[in-house]
Amino acid sequence: MNIKSWIMWFFPLLFFAFQFVARLFPGLIMPEMMDRYQVDATSFGIFASLYYLGYSGMQIPCAWLLDKFGIKKIIGLFTIVCGLSCWLSIISNNWLIVLLSRFLIGASSAAGFLGVSKTISLWFVKKYYAKMVGISFTFGLMGALYGGYPVSILIEQIGWTDVMIILGGVLVGLGFCILLFINNPQPLALNNQIPIQNILKDILSNKLLISIAIANLFMVGSLEGFADIWGVSYLMQTRNILKSEASAITSFIFFGMLFGGPLLAWIAGYFNNYYIVTAITGIIMSLIFVIVLSYNNYLSNYVLCTLMFITGILCCYQVLVFAIGSNIVSAENMGITIAFLNSINMLGGTFFHASIGFLMDLAWDGTMLGSAKIYSNYTYSIALLIIPICALLGSFIFWFNNNSSNRT
């Protein structure tokens, strides 16, 4: 490894980190957005979900584009689009334009992890690939950590629209830096791989892989449903605390994720059973959320932060899912298989945000403040129950698959 390799890796890594800030941003400004655009929880849930719909839909196309056109053009252009979409989200009072901007932020963010992964495969020798991906995840999650408490403080000081302007400017500037400084290590080779339609046909006909992908989607609510968007507003409402304090508590989920990947991989390897370990993570996550939703007012901040930290560790079950997936398909299908699993995983964000918003309006007691709906503690708790219920369902699927397949 030389200094040039580290520079090539550094700029895509910055985009991977900053796209986390854009991903989490709506969770910090839910009341402000609902008030500005006069929308209810269902509409806000749809808005939040469009990031994941765009991200999920672009996983496989982005992987193909990176192979065909290289890291320089694709990561650079996707980063610029992400920044421009941040600006688009605040320049119009048209709700449809705001929805479009959220979708584009998600679609362009697809080049975050995939771009870093591709850069590592091109600029680092193969034996360092896994280690560099692990380091990249750690630094990328720093974006999620800073996208919570520090950004919420900045929002309180200068306002959310100014923060979004700054974020968009940083991303546009970073995109141009990537176009200027990043290079492909060698001329792009002609694509002699198996046609993508053949690979997708093999993947979609694999019943075990499909069931694992669905189970993964069900179990992602703790991260993509709670930590990303609804957690901050839930804690502000039910604990009567400031936005900065609520975001600091939910940030412990991302803090736990810094340690969860290696820990869960070691545990699954020690017991030689990825299916059962994954199922147990879902059962424990479900139990934690039942405790939080039932006894929130009786839990100290210390206990709540501890539970969020444990939840973050458990959220890294996705590392085990990728390991399971890579072992039930052929080697030539592995790259697209990982993109497929990540795509279905991110669809979980679409499912949970839309469902939680719908359930909040369904359980709403009719309280209004002016023209805005007011949601009670009970409403939040009922809507968020979908997270532990689905986590338990996903666990059962993994447990069942352990008995009907070869162990990873």
Please give the residue range of the domain that contains residue 217: 194-408
* Helices and strands, number each (H, E), in the chain: 19, 2
Higher pLDDT, 198 or 64: 64
Token pair recorded at residue 249: 């508590």
- Identify whether residues 177 and 198 lie together within a single domain: no
Residues in the chain: 408
Q: Does pLDDT of 147 surpass 90?
A: no
The mean pLDDT of 40-60, rounded to a whole number, is: 89
Q: Does pLDDT of 357 surpass 80?
A: yes
- Identify whether residues 270 and 361 lie together within a single domain: yes
| Geometric angle at alpha carbon 15, from 14 and 19, rounded to 5° | 120
Rounded to 5 degrees, what are φ and ψ at 369? Answer: -125, 100
- Identify whether residues 129 and 206 lie together within a single domain: no
Q: Mean pLDDT in the chain?
A: 86
Higher pLDDT, 373 or 48: 48
Give me the number of domains the chain comprises. Answer: 2
Alpha carbon distance 22, 151 (integer Å): 11
Cβ atoms 102, 27 nearer than 8 A: no
- Identify whether residues 261 and 392 lie together within a single domain: yes
- Identify whether residues 210 and 157 lie together within a single domain: no
* Predicted pLDDT of residue 34: 86
The mean pLDDT of 333-338, rounded to a whole number, is: 71
**Can you tell me whether residue 372 is helix, strand or coil?**
strand
- Identify whether residues 288 and 331 lie together within a single domain: yes
Cross-strand pairs, 372: 369
The CA–CA distances, whole Å, from 321 to 174, 326, 355, 400 equal: 32, 9, 24, 15
* Predicted pLDDT of residue 331: 62
Q: How many CA atoms lie within 13 A of 79 on its CB side?
A: 32
* Predicted pLDDT of residue 1: 59
Q: Does pLDDT of 192 surpass 50?
A: no
Which range, of 192-201, 361-370, 377-386, averages the lowest pLDDT? 192-201
* Predicted pLDDT of residue 195: 67
- Identify whether residues 59 and 201 lie together within a single domain: no
* Final residue in a domain of this structure, among 185, 213, 229: 185
Alpha carbon distance 26, 31 (integer Å): 9
Measured from the Cβ of residue 154, the count of other Cβ atoms closer than 10 Å reads 18
- Identify whether residues 215 and 340 lie together within a single domain: yes
Nearest Cα residue to 73 out of 137, 117, 119: 119
- Identify whether residues 118 and 201 lie together within a single domain: no
The mean pLDDT of 132-144, rounded to a whole number, is: 78
